[in-house]
Structure 1
Amino acid sequence: MNRRKFIIGTAALGASTLPLFSIGKPTKGQFDDLRVGCIGMGRITIGLLNSFMTRTTVVAVCDVDTTRREHALNRVHEYYGNQDCKAYIDYRDLLARDDIDIVVIATPDHWHASMVIDAARAGKDIYCEKPLTHDLDESIQVMREVEDAGVVLQTGSQQRSNKEFRLAAELARNEVAGKIIRISSNFWGPGRPCDLGEESLEPGLDWNRWLGLSPMRPYHSVLSPRGFPDRFPMWRAFQEFGGGGVCDMGAHHLDIIQWALDMDTSGPVKALPPPELGNGPGARLVYDNGIEVTRQDGFHVDIECENGRIQASRGQFQFQLEGETIQKFLTREDGGSLNSAVVLTEREFLKDAKVRLPRSKNGHVANFLDCVISRDKPIANAEVGSRSAMCCHLMNLSYYHQQPIYWDPQGLRFTDESCDPAWLKGSRRQYSS
């Protein structure tokens, strides 16, 4: 029995009563023996690294940029007061270590699936930022590889661990305001082809490794900022590396909509571009029950029902029933708090609910670590993350090709000859390090 299996096995003996999702504050030292390697040490990793350092033992960091790699290494050494953490430029060297139990992946989107698959084959449990994949084919592969490997994966779709979004989905699933009529969501538009010029290469950056499978192109600091970034880099705006706003905030909001529609193991059957075409609002996802999800201004998640409306954004919640506003917290001027609005709504309308959605009371990372011990599926597991990413990719394809995209969410294939099977995969190149 290797070290990883021994730790999880012995921990599980003392966790036989652990729930499927986090309940209560984690016991101090509960996860200390779990050893973590982090891949991609940019802006998003500031919070992630703190979350894992305070709960587990971070023993390795990896980045193709020397500045970010050394920045992360120094933070880990300072936190633990030792020099035990190792730094890598090639993530495969990190995965080759038998003493690492968990990998945290926070690279640009075009690297997610390759690293997830390699980590799963190496037997590591995985926390990977959203969107979990960069195209439809990667979503299919990731679901299969993670299932075959039997590892635990959590997608960084942390809105599932936010009470306002969980409540919105739960109200919808229980039809408290009647059946859903339509849903809308506010996020910016699709990715665009990268048209940036060439700049002198950043010293200490392995540009070939940064590009990976994406098409070869010259370095530009918009894609990988010089030094340690003081804001989120804009590689996400370009098709080759991200998917624009659809794969950025859209990945979060469409994930909650999938949850509210009970579609975690399915998805839309059609994606439509805006009625007037172009890249503006109005793109839609259509489900086989006729419900349409439209990209438009407003709340992050806006669920219109027969007898009311359920609306949620980060830190905001509003519930209307039979023309009356039941609970509302949008700003402090509304009085009360978000927590009170959630609690009062639950108390009045969900106390006898038939559908109760999972809750990760101590946050998204804690939910993942609980499941590493219990071996249950986290709240945003591999299928959840892959299928939510598919929603993004389908909508983006409707934008990119300005036509309807017809999809079979069970057969995982296009269902109309107008959809080229080559669209399953994004632009890739033969990559070698």
Structure 2
Amino acid sequence: MDPSKSKTINRRNFLGLSALGLTSFTILPSWRMPNGVRIPPSDRVVMGFIGLGRQGLGDYGNFTKSAGIQVAAGADVDSLKRERFKRRVENWQKSAQVSPRCDVYESYEEILDRKDIDAVSIATPDHWHAIHTIHASQAGKDVYVQKPLAYTIQEGIKMVRTIRDNKSVLQVGSQQRSSPEFQRAIALVRSGAIGHIETIYAAVGEPPKPFDLPEQPVPASLNWNLWLGPLSNPKVHYHPDLAPPISLQPEENEKIWGAWRWYRETGNGYTSDWGAHMFDIAQAAIGMDGIGPIEYIPKGYKGTAHNTMKYANGIVMTEQDFREEGGKGIRFNGTKGWIKVTRGAIECSDPSLVTKPAAADPKAPAPHMQNFIDAIRTRGNTIAPVEAGCSTNTLCCLVNIAIELQRPVKWDPVTTSFGDDKEAAAHRLNHYDYRRPYSL
């Protein structure tokens, strides 16, 4: 792929080109939006999917609920997962009276080379997010990328610059931002309903542990070298927990989520896996999207009870249980009361704030995937834009850096730097040297 050529394509023409790019269409129906507006075939959003494992299939399923999309291609390093995806997409598109054709590739570049594809959905391991997103944006594609935005701090910063330089639309897969209970909590905090926020409890879980999986033979269906991509740590070898296998005859899907996220050498643990959700909501509620804390103190340092994050405005966020019964969620503590929120539930010290119906909001967000599709058409911002994803990813990385260094770490979110802290700046979660021939 020649990114310099791809960038010359006028992005506004993509939706028109997409109607011409798939010549096998026999039925081109209009699509009806939830508000009753019909979308003509020429205004379809044609998508490609990069990463076809458990998360990628889940994202695909949610995108099928969005009006006016066509799935043209998928890419994965496992041939069995490519075939599974192709079967599912073609069956769905037949039922939707759309041309069923869905091409699959081992190399994601082949998706980016196609001018009939408007947007990509990325659900690969975190160490691939930056390369996939940056190359997609340079190729003129809009991007839906799973959370956390990146594996390292510098990757996230580079992704922000690239997305904005290329005027791409990006949605981070932090879908809680589109959920009613979290929207309600954010609105209440922003309105001052519980007064000035003093502390926040965010329960996300444990940091990553050292890689300790025994090496096992690589399945014939998997290109393990391509799965590794830019990862340069020689300790990382194949184990089925990292890339859970599937079968097609008989069909048997993944039994676990990819365990790469639980190890320092391949992921950022629950700190990022759930922090990209709960820390993200906390930042949105207190107006810190694109900014973040200025100091990170690890649990155990001079008696510190919890991993602690301090904001310049005096708010302190700690990683700890947000309610007695545990679980993942957030508690906002204000001068006039508190709010607890988790998936599917919200509580408040003043029950009337959450028991009475919320006022109708004409600007209330659409479902997360639909919000992305709508933004492609309007060229506006999504509810989880790249800057928000970057600041939350930076926060998660900094928590883990402080934990591993076993001391406080200070960060300037304006200059995006550690000041004179050379040890923190040299940490792999700030930046690491990619394995050749990959580069950021």
TM-score by length of 1: 0.85
Alignment match of 1:262 (pick from 276, 287, 301) = 287
In the alignment, the residues of structure 1 paired with residue 180 and residue 88 of structure 2 have an alpha-carbon distance, to the nearest angstrom, of: 31
The reply to whether residue 414 of structure 1 matches residue 418 of structure 2 is yes
**Partner of residue 90, structure 1:** 107
In the alignment, the residues of structure 1 paired with residue 367 and residue 433 of structure 2 have an alpha-carbon distance, to the nearest angstrom, of: 35
In the alignment, the residues of structure 1 paired with residue 130 and residue 182 of structure 2 have an alpha-carbon distance, to the nearest angstrom, of: 26
In the alignment, the residues of structure 2 paired with residue 4 and residue 267 of structure 1 have an alpha-carbon distance, to the nearest angstrom, of: 32
In the alignment, the residues of structure 1 paired with residue 218 and residue 302 of structure 2 have an alpha-carbon distance, to the nearest angstrom, of: 38
In the alignment, the residues of structure 1 paired with residue 245 and residue 72 of structure 2 have an alpha-carbon distance, to the nearest angstrom, of: 26
Bigger shift: 113-122 or 294-303? 294-303
Q: 1:139: Cα distance to partner?
A: 1.2
**1:195-344 alignment, distance < 5 Å:** 195-214=212-231, 215-216=233-234, 217-227=236-246, 228-275=253-300, 282-299=306-323, 300-321=329-350, 325-326=351-352, 341=355, 344=356
Alignment match of 1:40 (pick from 30, 47, 51) = 51
Q: Kindly provide the CA deviation profile for residues 328-373 of structure 1, in whole angstroms up to 9, marking residues without a partner as x.
A: 6xxxxxxxxxxxx3xx1635xxx9xxxx99631x300011111100
Q: 1:275: Cα distance to partner?
A: 3.1
In the alignment, the residues of structure 2 paired with residue 385 and residue 357 of structure 1 have an alpha-carbon distance, to the nearest angstrom, of: 25
**Partner of residue 27, structure 2:** none
Identity of aligned residues (%): 34
Q: Which has the higher contact order (CA 8 A, sep 6+)?
A: 1
Q: 1:67: Cα distance to partner?
A: 1.3
In the alignment, the residues of structure 2 paired with residue 269 and residue 357 of structure 1 have an alpha-carbon distance, to the nearest angstrom, of: 36
Q: 1:429: Cα distance to partner?
A: 3.5
Q: 1:291: Cα distance to partner?
A: 0.9
Which residue identity does 2:415 align to in structure 1? G
Provide the secondary structure at the position in 2 that maps to 1:414.
coil
Alignment match of 1:402 (pick from 403, 406, 420) = 406
In the alignment, the residues of structure 1 paired with residue 362 and residue 331 of structure 2 have an alpha-carbon distance, to the nearest angstrom, of: 19
Bigger shift: 299-308 or 414-423? 414-423
Which residue identity does 1:57 align to in structure 2? Q
Bigger shift: 308-317 or 280-289? 280-289
In the alignment, the residues of structure 2 paired with residue 3 and residue 417 of structure 1 have an alpha-carbon distance, to the nearest angstrom, of: 43
The reply to whether residue 62 of structure 1 matches residue 75 of structure 2 is yes
Q: Kindly provide the CA deviation profile for residues 124-173 of structure 1, in whole angstroms up to 9, marking residues without a partner as x.
A: 00000000111111111011111101000000010000111111111111
In the alignment, the residues of structure 1 paired with residue 151 and residue 377 of structure 2 have an alpha-carbon distance, to the nearest angstrom, of: 29
Q: 1:417: Cα distance to partner?
A: 2.6
In the alignment, the residues of structure 2 paired with residue 33 and residue 120 of structure 1 have an alpha-carbon distance, to the nearest angstrom, of: 19
Alignment match of 2:140 (pick from 117, 123, 130) = 123
Q: 1:408: Cα distance to partner?
A: 0.4
In the alignment, the residues of structure 2 paired with residue 165 and residue 281 of structure 1 have an alpha-carbon distance, to the nearest angstrom, of: 27
Q: 1:253: Cα distance to partner?
A: 0.5
**Is the 2:120–2:142 Cα contact (8 Å) retained in structure 1?**
yes
**Is the 1:160–1:256 Cα contact (8 Å) retained in structure 2?**
yes
**Partner of residue 49, structure 1:** 60
Q: 1:79: Cα distance to partner?
A: 1.3
Unaligned runs of 5+ in 1: 12-22, 329-340
**Is the 1:38–1:103 Cα contact (8 Å) retained in structure 2?**
yes
Q: 1:304: Cα distance to partner?
A: 0.3
Q: Kindly provide the CA deviation profile for residues 296-327 of structure 1, in whole angstroms up to 9, marking residues without a partner as x.
A: 01251100000100110000101114xxx435
Bigger shift: 73-82 or 247-256? 73-82
**Is the 1:52–1:58 Cα contact (8 Å) retained in structure 2?**
no
Which residue identity does 1:135 align to in structure 2? T
Q: 1:3: Cα distance to partner?
A: 8.3
**Is the 2:397–2:430 Cα contact (8 Å) retained in structure 1?**
no
**Partner of residue 436, structure 2:** 431
Q: 1:389: Cα distance to partner?
A: 0.9
In the alignment, the residues of structure 2 paired with residue 359 and residue 152 of structure 1 have an alpha-carbon distance, to the nearest angstrom, of: 19
Q: Kindly provide the CA deviation profile for residues 260-312 of structure 1, in whole angstroms up to 9, marking residues without a partner as x.
A: 1101121110111013589x971011100111110001251100000100110
Provide the secondary structure at the position in 2 that maps to 1:184.
strand
**Is the 1:281–1:295 Cα contact (8 Å) retained in structure 2?**
no
Which residue identity does 2:46 align to in structure 1? R
Q: 1:240: Cα distance to partner?
A: 2.4
- Cα 1:121–1:132 change in 2 (3 A) is same
In the alignment, the residues of structure 2 paired with residue 388 and residue 276 of structure 1 have an alpha-carbon distance, to the nearest angstrom, of: 23
Q: 1:6: Cα distance to partner?
A: 2.5
The reply to whether residue 71 of structure 1 matches residue 84 of structure 2 is yes
- Cα 1:261–1:9 change in 2 (3 A) is farther
In the alignment, the residues of structure 2 paired with residue 277 and residue 194 of structure 1 have an alpha-carbon distance, to the nearest angstrom, of: 28
The reply to whether residue 385 of structure 1 matches residue 389 of structure 2 is yes
Provide the secondary structure at the position in 2 that maps to 1:413.
coil
In the alignment, the residues of structure 2 paired with residue 191 and residue 98 of structure 1 have an alpha-carbon distance, to the nearest angstrom, of: 40
**1:348-359 alignment, distance < 5 Å:** 359=364
- Cα 1:256–1:124 change in 2 (3 A) is same
- Cα 1:7–1:100 change in 2 (3 A) is closer
In the alignment, the residues of structure 1 paired with residue 330 and residue 294 of structure 2 have an alpha-carbon distance, to the nearest angstrom, of: 20
Q: Kindly provide the CA deviation profile for residues 35-79 of structure 1, in whole angstroms up to 9, marking residues without a partner as x.
A: 100000111122311233453000000000111111101111111
**Is the 2:15–2:44 Cα contact (8 Å) retained in structure 1?**
no
